Structure 1
Amino acid sequence: MRKFLISSLSALCVLAAPQAHAHFQLIYTPEINLKKAGDVPLKLIFWHPMENGHVMDMGQPEEFYSVFKGKKTDLSPSLAPSPFKGVSNEANAFDATVKLKRNGDYKLVLVPSPYLEKSEDIYIQQITKVMINKGGVPTDWAAPVGLKTEIIPLSKPYGAIAGSTFSGIVLKDGQPAANIEIEIEHITAEPDLSTNQPSSQKSASHPGGAIVVMSDKNAQFSFGLPKAGYWGFAALGSGPDTQFQGKELSQDAVLWIKAHELEQ
Protein backbone atom coordinates (compact mmCIF):
# COMPACT_ATOMS: atom_id res chain seq x y z
CA MET A 1 0.00 0.00 0.00
CA ARG A 2 2.02 2.90 -1.30
CA LYS A 3 -0.60 5.02 -3.04
CA PHE A 4 -3.44 5.85 -0.67
CA LEU A 5 -6.16 8.42 -1.32
CA ILE A 6 -8.06 10.03 1.53
CA SER A 7 -10.13 13.18 1.75
CA SER A 8 -9.84 13.86 5.47
CA LEU A 9 -6.43 13.77 7.10
CA SER A 10 -5.95 13.27 10.81
CA ALA A 11 -2.79 12.40 12.68
CA LEU A 12 -4.79 11.00 15.56
CA CYS A 13 -7.01 8.60 13.63
CA VAL A 14 -5.99 5.04 12.77
CA LEU A 15 -7.05 4.25 9.23
CA ALA A 16 -7.68 0.90 7.61
CA ALA A 17 -5.61 0.27 4.49
CA PRO A 18 -6.74 -2.06 1.73
CA GLN A 19 -3.57 -4.20 1.70
CA ALA A 20 -1.84 -6.59 4.08
CA HIS A 21 1.02 -5.76 6.39
CA ALA A 22 3.92 -3.93 4.84
CA HIS A 23 7.62 -4.36 4.29
CA PHE A 24 9.67 -3.10 7.24
CA GLN A 25 13.43 -2.68 7.46
CA LEU A 26 14.71 -3.65 10.91
CA ILE A 27 17.78 -2.77 12.95
CA TYR A 28 17.13 -5.20 15.78
CA THR A 29 18.76 -5.87 19.13
CA PRO A 30 16.94 -7.51 22.05
CA GLU A 31 17.45 -4.65 24.51
CA ILE A 32 17.87 -0.92 23.89
CA ASN A 33 18.38 0.23 27.50
CA LEU A 34 21.84 -0.94 28.52
CA LYS A 35 23.97 -0.42 31.60
CA LYS A 36 27.37 -1.81 30.63
CA ALA A 37 29.90 -0.85 27.98
CA GLY A 38 30.77 -3.35 25.26
CA ASP A 39 29.75 -4.71 21.89
CA VAL A 40 26.00 -4.92 21.25
CA PRO A 41 24.82 -7.49 18.67
CA LEU A 42 22.53 -6.28 15.89
CA LYS A 43 20.48 -7.94 13.17
CA LEU A 44 19.44 -6.19 9.96
CA ILE A 45 16.36 -7.79 8.38
CA PHE A 46 13.89 -6.71 5.68
CA TRP A 47 10.71 -8.43 6.81
CA HIS A 48 6.97 -8.49 7.48
CA PRO A 49 7.32 -8.53 11.28
CA MET A 50 3.72 -8.21 12.44
CA GLU A 51 2.41 -11.16 10.45
CA ASN A 52 5.73 -13.02 10.93
CA GLY A 53 5.69 -13.39 7.19
CA HIS A 54 7.81 -13.22 4.08
CA VAL A 55 11.45 -12.10 4.38
CA MET A 56 12.99 -10.04 1.56
CA ASP A 57 16.59 -10.24 0.36
CA MET A 58 18.77 -7.35 1.49
CA GLY A 59 21.54 -6.08 -0.76
CA GLN A 60 24.77 -4.59 0.59
CA PRO A 61 23.80 -1.49 2.61
CA GLU A 62 24.82 1.88 1.19
CA GLU A 63 25.55 3.19 4.71
CA PHE A 64 25.42 1.86 8.24
CA TYR A 65 26.65 3.95 11.14
CA SER A 66 26.05 5.22 14.67
CA VAL A 67 25.85 8.79 15.93
CA PHE A 68 26.83 9.63 19.51
CA LYS A 69 26.68 13.27 20.61
CA GLY A 70 27.04 14.34 16.97
CA LYS A 71 30.00 12.05 16.22
CA LYS A 72 29.46 9.60 13.37
CA THR A 73 31.06 6.14 13.50
CA ASP A 74 31.02 3.85 10.47
CA LEU A 75 29.63 0.44 11.41
CA SER A 76 29.86 -1.11 7.95
CA PRO A 77 33.10 -3.02 8.79
CA SER A 78 31.06 -5.00 11.33
CA LEU A 79 28.52 -6.17 8.72
CA ALA A 80 28.49 -9.90 8.03
CA PRO A 81 26.01 -11.66 5.72
CA SER A 82 23.78 -13.93 7.81
CA PRO A 83 20.55 -15.26 6.23
CA PHE A 84 17.37 -14.98 8.29
CA LYS A 85 14.97 -17.92 8.14
CA GLY A 86 11.40 -16.77 8.43
CA VAL A 87 8.38 -19.02 8.91
CA SER A 88 7.80 -19.29 5.16
CA ASN A 89 11.17 -18.54 3.54
CA GLU A 90 14.83 -17.60 4.03
CA ALA A 91 16.43 -14.39 2.75
CA ASN A 92 19.66 -12.40 2.86
CA ALA A 93 20.18 -10.41 6.06
CA PHE A 94 23.14 -9.08 8.04
CA ASP A 95 24.67 -9.37 11.48
CA ALA A 96 26.53 -6.38 12.91
CA THR A 97 27.74 -4.86 16.18
CA VAL A 98 27.97 -1.44 17.78
CA LYS A 99 30.37 -0.65 20.61
CA LEU A 100 28.97 1.32 23.54
CA LYS A 101 31.44 3.23 25.68
CA ARG A 102 30.14 6.41 27.31
CA ASN A 103 26.68 7.01 28.73
CA GLY A 104 24.08 8.55 26.45
CA ASP A 105 22.07 8.04 23.27
CA TYR A 106 23.45 6.05 20.34
CA LYS A 107 21.52 6.57 17.09
CA LEU A 108 21.89 3.66 14.68
CA VAL A 109 21.25 4.54 11.03
CA LEU A 110 20.87 2.21 8.05
CA VAL A 111 20.63 3.38 4.45
CA PRO A 112 19.87 0.14 2.60
CA SER A 113 20.27 -0.45 -1.10
CA PRO A 114 16.93 -0.06 -2.91
CA TYR A 115 14.85 -3.23 -3.09
CA LEU A 116 12.88 -4.08 -6.24
CA GLU A 117 9.33 -5.07 -5.33
CA LYS A 118 8.49 -7.04 -8.46
CA SER A 119 4.77 -7.30 -7.71
CA GLU A 120 4.48 -3.49 -7.87
CA ASP A 121 7.43 -2.88 -10.23
CA ILE A 122 8.87 -0.23 -7.91
CA TYR A 123 11.94 0.13 -5.74
CA ILE A 124 11.71 0.59 -1.98
CA GLN A 125 14.42 2.19 0.15
CA GLN A 126 13.69 2.43 3.86
CA ILE A 127 16.14 4.73 5.64
CA THR A 128 15.97 3.32 9.15
CA LYS A 129 16.83 4.53 12.66
CA VAL A 130 16.76 3.00 16.12
CA MET A 131 18.18 4.48 19.32
CA ILE A 132 20.06 2.66 22.07
CA ASN A 133 20.74 4.25 25.44
CA LYS A 134 23.56 3.42 27.83
CA GLY A 135 23.48 4.27 31.51
CA GLY A 136 20.01 5.81 31.63
CA VAL A 137 21.45 9.20 30.66
CA PRO A 138 19.47 10.89 27.85
CA THR A 139 21.50 13.16 25.57
CA ASP A 140 20.12 14.07 22.14
CA TRP A 141 17.42 11.54 21.22
CA ALA A 142 15.20 14.29 19.73
CA ALA A 143 17.91 15.78 17.49
CA PRO A 144 17.79 15.01 13.74
CA VAL A 145 20.65 13.14 12.12
CA GLY A 146 20.40 15.03 8.81
CA LEU A 147 19.08 12.22 6.61
CA LYS A 148 17.23 12.69 3.33
CA THR A 149 14.15 11.72 5.28
CA GLU A 150 13.70 10.75 8.92
CA ILE A 151 11.21 10.57 11.76
CA ILE A 152 12.09 12.73 14.77
CA PRO A 153 10.62 11.37 18.00
CA LEU A 154 8.73 13.76 20.26
CA SER A 155 8.55 11.04 22.90
CA LYS A 156 11.62 9.24 24.24
CA PRO A 157 11.94 6.27 21.85
CA TYR A 158 13.58 3.92 24.37
CA GLY A 159 11.37 4.98 27.31
CA ALA A 160 7.87 4.47 25.91
CA ILE A 161 5.21 2.90 28.13
CA ALA A 162 2.54 0.50 26.88
CA GLY A 163 -0.77 2.38 26.89
CA SER A 164 0.88 5.77 26.36
CA THR A 165 0.97 7.85 23.17
CA PHE A 166 4.01 8.09 20.93
CA SER A 167 4.44 11.20 18.77
CA GLY A 168 6.88 12.18 16.05
CA ILE A 169 7.62 14.56 13.19
CA VAL A 170 8.37 13.53 9.60
CA LEU A 171 11.21 15.38 7.88
CA LYS A 172 12.11 15.59 4.20
CA ASP A 173 15.48 17.18 3.47
CA GLY A 174 15.38 18.56 7.01
CA GLN A 175 12.00 20.24 6.57
CA PRO A 176 8.61 19.20 7.99
CA ALA A 177 6.67 16.90 5.66
CA ALA A 178 2.90 17.24 5.95
CA ASN A 179 0.23 14.75 4.87
CA ILE A 180 2.55 11.73 4.79
CA GLU A 181 1.10 8.26 5.18
CA ILE A 182 2.72 6.37 8.05
CA GLU A 183 2.39 2.62 8.41
CA ILE A 184 2.80 1.09 11.86
CA GLU A 185 3.77 -2.46 12.82
CA HIS A 186 4.59 -4.44 15.94
CA ILE A 187 7.19 -7.23 15.99
CA THR A 188 5.04 -10.21 16.89
CA ALA A 189 7.89 -12.75 17.22
CA GLU A 190 11.21 -11.05 17.91
CA PRO A 191 14.26 -12.46 16.10
CA ASP A 192 16.39 -15.02 17.93
CA LEU A 193 19.96 -13.90 17.27
CA SER A 194 21.38 -17.31 18.10
CA THR A 195 19.28 -19.21 15.54
CA ASN A 196 18.64 -16.47 12.94
CA GLN A 197 14.92 -17.10 12.93
CA PRO A 198 11.81 -15.80 14.69
CA SER A 199 11.57 -16.68 18.38
CA SER A 200 8.18 -18.30 17.75
CA GLN A 201 5.65 -18.92 15.00
CA LYS A 202 3.20 -16.42 16.44
CA SER A 203 1.64 -14.02 13.96
CA ALA A 204 -0.80 -11.14 14.15
CA SER A 205 -3.24 -9.55 11.76
CA HIS A 206 -5.31 -6.39 11.87
CA PRO A 207 -8.84 -6.03 10.44
CA GLY A 208 -8.74 -3.85 7.36
CA GLY A 209 -5.04 -4.33 6.68
CA ALA A 210 -2.15 -2.17 7.81
CA ILE A 211 -2.34 0.30 10.69
CA VAL A 212 -1.97 3.80 9.25
CA VAL A 213 -1.88 7.39 10.50
CA MET A 214 -1.15 10.60 8.61
CA SER A 215 1.20 13.41 9.49
CA ASP A 216 -0.78 16.63 9.98
CA LYS A 217 -0.16 20.09 8.53
CA ASN A 218 2.74 20.51 10.96
CA ALA A 219 4.21 17.13 9.95
CA GLN A 220 3.36 15.62 13.33
CA PHE A 221 1.63 12.32 14.07
CA SER A 222 0.61 10.38 17.17
CA PHE A 223 -0.22 6.78 17.94
CA GLY A 224 -1.42 5.06 21.12
CA LEU A 225 0.82 2.09 21.95
CA PRO A 226 -1.55 -0.74 22.92
CA LYS A 227 1.08 -3.20 24.14
CA ALA A 228 4.75 -3.59 25.02
CA GLY A 229 7.46 -4.52 22.54
CA TYR A 230 9.00 -3.08 19.41
CA TRP A 231 6.93 -0.74 17.24
CA GLY A 232 7.97 0.45 13.79
CA PHE A 233 6.82 3.61 11.99
CA ALA A 234 7.36 3.91 8.23
CA ALA A 235 6.69 7.27 6.54
CA LEU A 236 5.97 6.16 2.98
CA GLY A 237 7.46 8.11 0.10
CA SER A 238 8.65 10.86 2.44
CA GLY A 239 12.10 11.11 0.84
CA PRO A 240 13.13 13.44 -1.99
CA ASP A 241 14.31 10.66 -4.34
CA THR A 242 11.51 9.26 -6.50
CA GLN A 243 13.36 7.33 -9.23
CA PHE A 244 15.96 4.55 -9.28
CA GLN A 245 17.27 2.76 -12.35
CA GLY A 246 14.39 4.05 -14.45
CA LYS A 247 11.67 2.89 -12.06
CA GLU A 248 9.57 4.52 -9.36
CA LEU A 249 11.26 4.68 -5.94
CA SER A 250 9.44 4.86 -2.62
CA GLN A 251 12.03 6.37 -0.29
CA ASP A 252 10.68 5.88 3.22
CA ALA A 253 11.74 6.97 6.71
CA VAL A 254 11.56 4.23 9.35
CA LEU A 255 11.89 4.60 13.12
CA TRP A 256 11.80 1.77 15.66
CA ILE A 257 10.93 2.30 19.31
CA LYS A 258 10.42 -0.06 22.23
CA ALA A 259 7.50 0.18 24.67
CA HIS A 260 7.72 -1.30 28.16
CA GLU A 261 5.16 -2.36 30.71
CA LEU A 262 4.92 0.13 33.57
CA GLU A 263 6.56 -1.45 36.59
CA GLN A 264 4.43 -1.38 39.73
Structure 2
Amino acid sequence: MKRIILGLALCLGLAASPAMAHFQLVHTPELALEQGGELHLSIVFTHPFDAGYTMDMETPEAFYLVSQRGDGEPRTTDLMSSLKPISWKSTTNTGKAFEAKVPVRSMGDHIFVLVPAPYYEKEEDAYIQQITKNIVNVAGMPGHWNEPLGLKAEIVPLDKPYALWTGNVFRGVVLSDGKPVPGAEIEVEYLNHEPLQNERAFAEKGAIEAPQAAFEVQTIFADENGVFTYGLPRAGYWGFAALGVGPDEEFNGKELSQDAVIWVKAVDMK
Protein backbone atom coordinates (compact mmCIF):
# COMPACT_ATOMS: atom_id res chain seq x y z
CA MET A 1 0.00 0.00 0.00
CA LYS A 2 1.33 3.41 -0.89
CA ARG A 3 1.58 6.12 1.74
CA ILE A 4 1.65 9.04 -0.67
CA ILE A 5 -1.59 10.74 -1.62
CA LEU A 6 -1.24 12.89 -4.72
CA GLY A 7 -4.52 12.53 -6.59
CA LEU A 8 -6.60 15.22 -4.92
CA ALA A 9 -3.84 17.82 -5.06
CA LEU A 10 -3.20 17.08 -8.72
CA CYS A 11 -6.90 17.30 -9.58
CA LEU A 12 -7.10 20.71 -7.89
CA GLY A 13 -3.94 21.90 -9.59
CA LEU A 14 -2.18 22.36 -6.25
CA ALA A 15 1.44 21.68 -5.45
CA ALA A 16 1.40 18.13 -4.14
CA SER A 17 3.45 17.17 -1.10
CA PRO A 18 4.09 13.67 0.22
CA ALA A 19 2.13 12.50 3.25
CA MET A 20 4.24 11.32 6.13
CA ALA A 21 4.54 7.62 6.70
CA HIS A 22 2.18 6.02 9.19
CA PHE A 23 4.02 4.46 12.13
CA GLN A 24 2.68 2.62 15.15
CA LEU A 25 4.63 3.83 18.16
CA VAL A 26 5.17 1.75 21.31
CA HIS A 27 7.48 4.13 23.14
CA THR A 28 9.38 4.07 26.38
CA PRO A 29 12.30 6.48 26.89
CA GLU A 30 15.12 3.95 27.31
CA LEU A 31 15.66 0.49 25.83
CA ALA A 32 18.83 -0.44 27.74
CA LEU A 33 18.22 -0.35 31.50
CA GLU A 34 20.70 -0.91 34.30
CA GLN A 35 17.98 -2.37 36.51
CA GLY A 36 14.32 -3.23 36.33
CA GLY A 37 11.38 -1.09 37.31
CA GLU A 38 8.06 0.17 36.06
CA LEU A 39 8.05 1.10 32.38
CA HIS A 40 5.78 3.83 31.06
CA LEU A 41 4.74 3.02 27.48
CA SER A 42 3.01 5.46 25.12
CA ILE A 43 1.10 3.74 22.30
CA VAL A 44 0.37 6.21 19.51
CA PHE A 45 -0.36 5.89 15.77
CA THR A 46 1.37 8.86 14.22
CA HIS A 47 3.89 10.37 11.79
CA PRO A 48 7.21 10.34 13.65
CA PHE A 49 9.35 12.81 11.76
CA ASP A 50 7.02 15.81 11.77
CA ALA A 51 4.82 14.74 14.73
CA GLY A 52 1.94 15.70 12.47
CA TYR A 53 -1.53 14.23 12.29
CA THR A 54 -2.08 11.54 14.92
CA MET A 55 -4.61 8.87 13.97
CA ASP A 56 -7.32 7.66 16.36
CA MET A 57 -6.62 4.18 17.71
CA GLU A 58 -9.28 1.64 18.58
CA THR A 59 -8.78 -1.03 21.26
CA PRO A 60 -5.90 -3.26 20.10
CA GLU A 61 -6.43 -6.89 19.20
CA ALA A 62 -3.50 -7.92 21.38
CA PHE A 63 -0.80 -6.42 23.58
CA TYR A 64 1.64 -8.68 25.39
CA LEU A 65 5.17 -9.08 26.70
CA VAL A 66 7.62 -11.88 25.94
CA SER A 67 10.29 -12.03 28.64
CA GLN A 68 12.57 -14.63 30.24
CA ARG A 69 11.88 -17.00 33.08
CA GLY A 70 14.57 -17.84 35.57
CA ASP A 71 15.65 -20.78 33.41
CA GLY A 72 16.06 -18.50 30.40
CA GLU A 73 13.03 -19.77 28.52
CA PRO A 74 10.51 -17.27 27.14
CA ARG A 75 7.40 -16.34 29.09
CA THR A 76 4.40 -14.52 27.61
CA THR A 77 2.34 -12.09 29.71
CA ASP A 78 -0.94 -10.63 28.48
CA LEU A 79 -0.92 -6.84 28.95
CA MET A 80 -4.36 -5.92 27.60
CA SER A 81 -5.62 -5.08 31.09
CA SER A 82 -2.78 -2.58 31.53
CA LEU A 83 -3.91 -0.42 28.60
CA LYS A 84 -5.39 2.96 29.49
CA PRO A 85 -7.12 5.11 26.83
CA ILE A 86 -5.64 8.61 26.54
CA SER A 87 -5.65 11.59 24.22
CA TRP A 88 -2.31 12.36 22.57
CA LYS A 89 -1.45 15.79 21.23
CA SER A 90 0.58 16.12 18.05
CA THR A 91 1.72 19.36 16.45
CA THR A 92 -1.53 19.56 14.45
CA ASN A 93 -4.26 17.65 16.30
CA THR A 94 -5.21 15.42 19.22
CA GLY A 95 -5.87 11.72 18.64
CA LYS A 96 -7.01 8.69 20.62
CA ALA A 97 -4.11 6.65 21.96
CA PHE A 98 -3.18 4.40 24.87
CA GLU A 99 -0.60 4.18 27.62
CA ALA A 100 0.49 1.36 29.89
CA LYS A 101 2.65 1.06 32.98
CA VAL A 102 4.31 -2.33 33.12
CA PRO A 103 6.76 -3.67 35.74
CA VAL A 104 9.88 -5.39 34.36
CA ARG A 105 12.02 -6.89 37.07
CA SER A 106 13.96 -9.80 35.59
CA MET A 107 17.25 -9.43 33.74
CA GLY A 108 17.39 -9.94 30.01
CA ASP A 109 15.13 -9.07 27.10
CA HIS A 110 11.54 -7.88 27.35
CA ILE A 111 9.79 -7.88 23.96
CA PHE A 112 6.63 -5.79 23.78
CA VAL A 113 4.25 -6.82 21.00
CA LEU A 114 1.25 -4.79 19.86
CA VAL A 115 -1.35 -6.03 17.37
CA PRO A 116 -3.51 -2.93 16.79
CA ALA A 117 -6.99 -2.94 15.36
CA PRO A 118 -6.91 -2.14 11.61
CA TYR A 119 -7.11 1.60 10.99
CA TYR A 120 -9.32 2.88 8.17
CA GLU A 121 -7.50 5.43 6.03
CA LYS A 122 -10.26 7.37 4.28
CA GLU A 123 -8.02 8.97 1.69
CA GLU A 124 -6.88 5.55 0.50
CA ASP A 125 -10.20 3.77 1.17
CA ALA A 126 -8.19 0.99 2.79
CA TYR A 127 -7.08 -0.32 6.17
CA ILE A 128 -3.65 -0.34 7.81
CA GLN A 129 -2.57 -2.72 10.58
CA GLN A 130 0.95 -2.32 11.90
CA ILE A 131 2.07 -5.24 14.07
CA THR A 132 4.76 -3.64 16.23
CA LYS A 133 7.66 -4.77 18.41
CA ASN A 134 9.85 -2.84 20.83
CA ILE A 135 12.54 -4.62 22.83
CA VAL A 136 13.81 -3.49 26.24
CA ASN A 137 16.85 -5.04 27.92
CA VAL A 138 17.64 -5.09 31.64
CA ALA A 139 21.20 -5.36 32.99
CA GLY A 140 22.81 -6.28 29.67
CA MET A 141 21.90 -9.97 29.79
CA PRO A 142 20.92 -11.00 26.23
CA GLY A 143 17.84 -13.10 25.65
CA HIS A 144 15.54 -13.88 22.75
CA TRP A 145 15.84 -10.58 20.86
CA ASN A 146 16.75 -12.31 17.56
CA GLU A 147 14.16 -15.08 17.63
CA PRO A 148 10.90 -14.86 15.63
CA LEU A 149 7.67 -14.78 17.61
CA GLY A 150 5.41 -16.26 14.94
CA LEU A 151 3.64 -13.00 14.12
CA LYS A 152 1.72 -12.63 10.87
CA ALA A 153 4.01 -9.74 9.92
CA GLU A 154 7.33 -9.42 11.72
CA ILE A 155 10.78 -7.85 11.54
CA VAL A 156 13.30 -10.05 13.32
CA PRO A 157 16.42 -8.06 14.28
CA LEU A 158 19.87 -9.30 13.30
CA ASP A 159 21.53 -6.69 15.56
CA LYS A 160 20.54 -5.90 19.14
CA PRO A 161 18.00 -3.10 18.72
CA TYR A 162 18.76 -1.72 22.19
CA ALA A 163 22.60 -1.73 21.90
CA LEU A 164 23.40 0.35 18.82
CA TRP A 165 25.97 3.13 18.67
CA THR A 166 25.28 6.08 16.41
CA GLY A 167 26.81 5.14 13.06
CA ASN A 168 26.16 1.40 13.47
CA VAL A 169 24.02 -0.37 10.93
CA PHE A 170 20.79 -2.07 11.89
CA ARG A 171 19.89 -5.28 10.05
CA GLY A 172 16.66 -7.21 10.10
CA VAL A 173 14.80 -9.90 8.24
CA VAL A 174 11.19 -9.39 7.16
CA LEU A 175 8.87 -12.35 7.75
CA SER A 176 5.31 -13.12 6.67
CA ASP A 177 3.84 -15.97 8.71
CA GLY A 178 7.41 -17.01 9.52
CA LYS A 179 8.70 -16.96 5.93
CA PRO A 180 11.16 -14.39 4.54
CA VAL A 181 9.73 -11.75 2.19
CA PRO A 182 12.09 -11.17 -0.77
CA GLY A 183 12.25 -7.55 -1.90
CA ALA A 184 10.05 -6.26 0.93
CA GLU A 185 9.55 -2.48 0.87
CA ILE A 186 10.58 -0.87 4.16
CA GLU A 187 9.98 2.70 5.27
CA VAL A 188 12.41 4.19 7.78
CA GLU A 189 11.66 7.25 9.84
CA TYR A 190 13.37 9.12 12.67
CA LEU A 191 11.41 10.01 15.81
CA ASN A 192 12.20 13.69 15.48
CA HIS A 193 9.92 15.14 18.17
CA GLU A 194 10.46 13.91 21.72
CA PRO A 195 7.41 12.18 23.23
CA LEU A 196 6.56 14.03 26.45
CA GLN A 197 4.90 11.15 28.23
CA ASN A 198 3.58 13.00 31.25
CA GLU A 199 2.08 15.69 29.01
CA ARG A 200 0.81 13.10 26.52
CA ALA A 201 2.16 15.15 23.66
CA PHE A 202 5.06 15.52 21.25
CA ALA A 203 7.56 18.32 21.76
CA GLU A 204 6.69 21.22 19.48
CA LYS A 205 10.20 21.57 18.07
CA GLY A 206 11.93 18.75 16.26
CA ALA A 207 15.59 17.85 16.72
CA ILE A 208 16.47 18.35 13.04
CA GLU A 209 15.09 19.88 9.87
CA ALA A 210 15.02 17.91 6.63
CA PRO A 211 16.47 19.70 3.59
CA GLN A 212 13.59 18.38 1.46
CA ALA A 213 10.50 16.23 2.02
CA ALA A 214 12.04 13.07 0.54
CA PHE A 215 14.51 12.96 3.44
CA GLU A 216 11.75 12.62 6.04
CA VAL A 217 10.73 9.09 5.01
CA GLN A 218 13.53 6.85 3.76
CA THR A 219 12.58 3.88 1.58
CA ILE A 220 14.74 0.76 1.33
CA PHE A 221 14.19 -2.78 0.07
CA ALA A 222 15.06 -6.18 1.47
CA ASP A 223 17.20 -8.57 -0.54
CA GLU A 224 16.13 -11.96 -1.93
CA ASN A 225 16.28 -13.41 1.60
CA GLY A 226 14.15 -10.69 3.18
CA VAL A 227 17.19 -9.08 4.84
CA PHE A 228 17.75 -5.31 4.95
CA THR A 229 20.52 -3.06 6.26
CA TYR A 230 20.33 0.60 7.29
CA GLY A 231 23.00 2.88 8.74
CA LEU A 232 21.89 4.96 11.74
CA PRO A 233 23.28 8.49 11.25
CA ARG A 234 21.90 10.10 14.40
CA ALA A 235 21.23 9.18 18.01
CA GLY A 236 17.63 8.51 18.97
CA TYR A 237 14.75 6.30 17.97
CA TRP A 238 14.35 4.92 14.46
CA GLY A 239 11.26 3.10 13.18
CA PHE A 240 11.25 0.45 10.44
CA ALA A 241 7.96 -0.50 8.76
CA ALA A 242 7.79 -3.32 6.21
CA LEU A 243 4.71 -2.51 4.15
CA GLY A 244 1.97 -4.97 3.25
CA VAL A 245 3.99 -8.08 4.08
CA GLY A 246 1.39 -9.89 6.20
CA PRO A 247 -0.85 -12.63 4.75
CA ASP A 248 -4.11 -10.79 5.48
CA GLU A 249 -4.96 -8.55 2.51
CA GLU A 250 -8.59 -7.64 3.22
CA PHE A 251 -10.60 -6.29 6.15
CA ASN A 252 -14.29 -5.32 6.14
CA GLY A 253 -14.36 -5.85 2.40
CA LYS A 254 -11.54 -3.40 1.73
CA GLU A 255 -7.81 -3.62 1.07
CA LEU A 256 -5.63 -4.20 4.14
CA SER A 257 -1.94 -3.36 4.39
CA GLN A 258 -0.65 -5.62 7.17
CA ASP A 259 2.73 -4.12 8.07
CA ALA A 260 5.57 -5.17 10.39
CA VAL A 261 7.14 -2.47 12.58
CA ILE A 262 10.14 -2.48 14.89
CA TRP A 263 11.78 0.35 16.83
CA VAL A 264 15.48 0.66 17.60
CA LYS A 265 17.56 3.26 19.43
CA ALA A 266 21.02 4.57 18.58
CA VAL A 267 23.19 6.11 21.32
CA ASP A 268 26.17 8.48 20.96
CA MET A 269 29.57 7.35 22.24
CA LYS A 270 30.73 9.58 25.09
Q: TM-score, normalised by structure 2?
A: 0.89
Distance 2:22 2:193 in 1: 15
Q: Partners of 2:194 and 2:100 in 1: how far apart?
A: 17
Given that 1:75 and 1:97 are in contact with CA atoms closer than 8 Å, whether structure 2 keeps it comes out as: no
Cα distance in 2 for partners of 1:173, 1:198 equals: 34
1:29-48 Cα deviation digits (max 9, x unpaired): 11111122221110000000
Equivalent residue for 1:36?
A: 35
State the Cα distance separating 1:3 from its structure 2 match.
7.7
Q: How many residues align?
A: 250
Q: Does 1:259 align with 2:263?
A: no
Work out the CA distance in 2 between the residues paired with 1:82 and 1:231. 24
Q: Name the amino acid aligned to 2:165.
A: I
Residue 204 to residue 129, structure 1, CA distance change in 2 (3 Å): farther
2:158 paired with 1:151: no
The structural deviation recorded for 1:204 is 4.1
Counterpart contact for 1:68–1:105, Cα < 8 Å: yes
Q: Which residue of 2 aligns with 1:222?
A: 229
Is the deviation greater in 170-179 or in 202-211?
Answer: 202-211
Q: Could you tell me which of 200, 214, 218 is aligned with 1:208?
A: 214
> How far, CA to CA, are the matches of 1:260 and 1:152 in structure 2?
21
TM-superposed CA distance for 1:20, in Å, is 3.3
- 1:24 corresponds in structure 2 to 23
Aligned to 1:241: 248
Counterpart for residue 71 of structure 2? none
Structure 1 residues 101-112: aligned runs within 5 Å: 101-112=105-116
Query: How do 1:31-70 residues align onto structure 2 when only pairs under 5 Å count?
Result: 31-69=30-68, 70=74
Which AA in structure 1 matches 2:234?
A: K
Matches of 1:37 and 1:50, distance apart in 2: 30
Cα deviation digits, residues 128-162 of structure 1 (max 9, x gap): 00000011111111011110110011111001111
CA distance in 1, matches of 2:228, 2:199: 36
The CA RMSD over aligned residues, in Å, is 1.5
Decide whether the 8 Å contact of 2:127 with 2:256 is kept in 1.
Answer: yes
Pair 1:169 & 2:163 matched: no
> For 1:80 and 1:20, how far apart are their aligned partners in 2?
29
Aligned equivalents of 1:169 and 1:262: distance in 2?
Answer: 27
The C-alpha deviation readout for 1:159-193, integer Å capped at 9, x for no partner, is 11111111110000001111110000010012101
Identity between Structure 1 and Structure 2 (%)? 47
Equivalent AA in structure 2 for residue 232 of structure 1: G
Q: Which has the higher contact order (CA 8 A, sep 6+)?
A: 1
Rounded to whole Å, the distance in 2 between the matches of 1:262 and 1:60 is 39
Give 1:200 deviation, angstroms.
Answer: 3.2
Q: Structure 2: give runs of 5+ residues left out of the alignment.
A: 5-16, 69-73
Q: Does 1:127 align with 2:131?
A: yes
C-alpha distance in structure 1 between counterparts of 2:62 and 2:188, whole Å:
24
Gaps of 5+ in 1: 5-17
Q: What is the distance in 1 between the residues matched to 2:241 and 2:145?
A: 18
SS in 2 for 1:77: helix
**Contact 1:51-1:204 within 8 A present in 2 as well:** no
2:13 alignment partner in structure 1: none
What residue number does 1:80 align with? 84
User: Given that residues 44 and 97 in structure 2 are in contact (C-alpha distance below 8 angstroms), is that contact kept between their aligned partners in structure 1?
Assistant: yes
- DSSP-derived class of the 1:208 partner: helix
Tell me, in whole angstroms, the C-alpha distance in 1 between the residues paired with 2:155 and 2:92: 31
